[in-house]
Amino acid sequence: MRTLATTSAVLVRPSGGKSRAQRLVALLDLVESWLARRRQRLDLAELDDRLLQDIGLTRADVARETAKPFWQP
């Protein structure tokens, strides 16, 4: 755990030692992955039966995957 030393006390940084910039970058990465997952599921839903068969999926597989919320892997 990272600490900050001051003249009168030792303060523990609640963010686990990450700076605001690092936390912002982590948040943006998370949002970017959510958007990519949503886009991939929408693309999957548009594939025709022939293409689904080529990749070994059924309509039921697609329905199950596209029913998931974007934040769920």
pLDDT in tens, 9-68: 555 556 578 899 999 999 999 999 999 999 999 999 999 999 999 999 999 999 999 999
The residue ranges of every structural domain in the chain are: 19-73
Whether the full predicted model's pTM is greater than 0.75, yes or no, is no
Measure the CA–CA gap between 22 and 26, rounded to whole angstroms: 6
Q: How far is CA 2 from CA 20, 25, 36, 45, 52, in A?
A: 15, 19, 33, 46, 50
The half-sphere exposure of 16 on its side-chain side, counting CA atoms within 13 A, is 2
Q: Where are the alpha helices (DSSP H) in the chain?
A: 20-45, 49-54, 59-66
